[in-house]
Structure 1
Amino acid sequence: MTETDSILSRKKILFIINPISGTRGKENILHLINTNVDLDIFEPEILFTRKKGDAIQIIKEKREEGFKYFVAVGGDGTVNEVGSAVVDTDCVMGIIPLGSGNGLARHLKIPIDVEKSIRIINQLKVDKIDYGLVNGQPFFCTCGVGFDAHIGYRFAKQEGRGFFNYVKVALQDFINYKPKKYKLKIDGGEKFKVKAFLITCANASQYGNNAYIAPNADMKDGLLDLAIMSPINILQAPAVGAMLFTKTIDKSTVLRTGKASKVVIKRKREDVVHYDGEPTIMGQKIKIKIVKQGLNIIVP
């Protein structure tokens, strides 16, 4: 193969950087990408997002230019945007995790270290995984309602980022948070009522930061892991929190678990829903379903 043939055979890969994700600076990221990407395999390009939604538009334009590989350089929000733009296509997503939670990267065992995560991309091992839809919005880790959605909404309005600021907001709001009543319908079965602290539908095992709400979740089984947490008091909270971080929450008496391909949640009024840590307001009826093996992703 001549040098010209080698250049022509390289794969176009776009690194999409969210400059404000997480708590780590991005000053060195351009250098790390340029010095670690295998130029025998890839023809790289780097672009920065400026606002939410940019990644989706960028990918749409770059696909028309022949790009097939798109790397989310940022946190779970950036991963969600990039993933949402490439699902159900022949495009492939990679991740360089720079967020504060990094839920999908942690589940897939993609290293948090930038150089190591780029080496994973160079190996170009592609797998197919499931993704979820909540009222038509793709998610890859978790979505749900209740206390975690409420805290996500509050946290998004804070100036400080990072895990410890998140915990601070959660502790401040725990005392005054009132569990809500919901109606659920699972896989077309009979409706039933619950009063819950939170309801999570998980494709991946964790929210992020190694907080495992669904320790046994499998991203290739075509099913969501459903976790319904009963109302808890301040005395129960420390033990429940500890179980999240020791992968034992599924053993807790306050958690009901199950698996489903479709879940419908109804509530009295519109309120917050979170998907991959992103809070948004949705209506009374929330339709959640799994899409089997709809995302091509680079894995270790």
Structure 2
Amino acid sequence: MKNNCILVVNPISGGIDKTELINTITAFAEKENFNIHIFKTSGISDSDRLNEFYKTYKTERVIVAGGDGTIKMVAEALEDEDIIIGILPAGSANGLAVDLNLPTTIEENLPIAFYNHYMEMDMISINGKKSIHLSDLGLNAEMIKNYENSSIRGKLGYALQTVNTLIDLDDPFTATITGDFPTVECEARMIVIANSQKYGTGISINPNGIMDDGKFELVILKNMDLVVLGKIITGNMPLDNNDVEIISTAKAVIATNVPVSFQIDGEYCGAETKLNIEILPKQMKVAIPVV
């Protein structure tokens, strides 16, 4: 008797045609005696459509071929179902896959996605929206806004918009951060709300991140000159000076003096002046490599 499995594919993630990828996944599933049911995202009512699709097949495991945004959509659409999510990184940004130490090739990831054991990941609620990975206010969110408005995709697109964003950099914003810790008032270029350690580019922004510890980190970047930026890009996070402050907590409120660009898991969400943030423990089962 064959096992049933749902494959969720984002056909346009990463700007790459997914026909060959789907054929590879389908061939593996057939060899391993799986009936695979394919759901393609369209950007229109994906969450509702996937929920209805799932009711037809009721599989224990859902394989996601896409980036962080697609994974988050699946987790939210099926949050009331007891499923394990297997990840096949195929997006412009694959930050969660990087943090889970998934291999770089689809062939290596297939047995992990279909068979391996899982961890129960936390998620973060930010103004009622869920984050699985890294969200932020300020410089990076502004870069993502510019990236979404550009025609060049992939790592080259991110690199170009990073340069453009730095050239047009606004003044720092003032933030007041409250929670179960001494209130922080500071000027900042960027505040990261982190459930993990690395962006999809591999840049480590939160060395303290653990995805199932019941806490998140606020990484406050008070200065983002070229020296600090260079240290971050090269993996030398400047934790020993006043440019960076990290707060580990389960709940916080960030208020800013002006509207500041904000993004969740690589998706630009507009400008905000207040964020209410809290941890949502053990919200998502995700397949991981055997250590």
The TM-score with structure 2 as length reference comes to 0.91
- Is 2:173 the partner of 1:184? no
Any idea what the Cα deviations from partners look like across 1:139-186, whole Å, max 9, x if unmatched? 111111011111111111111111222121111221331211111112
Contact 2:98–2:202, Cα closer than 8 Å, also in 1 = yes
In structure 1, stretches of 5+ residues that fail to align are 1-5
Superposed displacement of residue 32, structure 1: 0.3
Residue range with higher mean Cα deviation, 197-206 or 73-82 = 73-82
Q: Any runs of at least 4 consecutive aligned residues in structure 1 with deviations exceeding 6 A, and if so which?
A: none
Contact 1:143–1:276, Cα closer than 8 Å, also in 2 = yes
285 and 109 in structure 1: CA distance in 2 versus 1, 3 angstrom threshold: same
Question: Of residues 58, 67, 79 in structure 2, which corresponds to 1:75?
Answer: 67
Residue range with higher mean Cα deviation, 40-49 or 140-149 = 40-49
- Is 2:81 the partner of 1:92? no
CA distance in 2, matches of 1:295, 1:15: 17
Superposed displacement of residue 67, structure 1: 2.8
Question: Of residues 202, 215, 222 in structure 2, which corresponds to 1:210?
Answer: 202
231 and 247 in structure 1: CA distance in 2 versus 1, 3 angstrom threshold: closer
Superposed displacement of residue 262, structure 1: 1.0
Contact 1:146–1:198, Cα closer than 8 Å, also in 2 = yes
CA distance in 2, matches of 1:46, 1:208: 25
The TM-score with structure 1 as length reference comes to 0.88
Superposed displacement of residue 226, structure 1: 1.6
Contact 2:173–2:257, Cα closer than 8 Å, also in 1 = no
The number of aligned residues is 287
Aligned runs of 1:145-224 on 2, under 5 Å?
A: 145-177=137-169, 178-187=171-180, 189-224=181-216
Any idea what the Cα deviations from partners look like across 1:117-151, whole Å, max 9, x if unmatched? 11112323122111111111111111110111111
Identity %: 24
- Is 2:283 the partner of 1:290? no
- Is 2:255 the partner of 1:263? no
Superposed displacement of residue 204, structure 1: 1.1
Contact 1:87–1:296, Cα closer than 8 Å, also in 2 = no
Quick one: which amino acid aligns to residue 285 of structure 1? K
184 and 41 in structure 1: CA distance in 2 versus 1, 3 angstrom threshold: farther
Superposed displacement of residue 101, structure 1: 2.1
The CA RMSD over aligned residues, in Å, is: 2.0
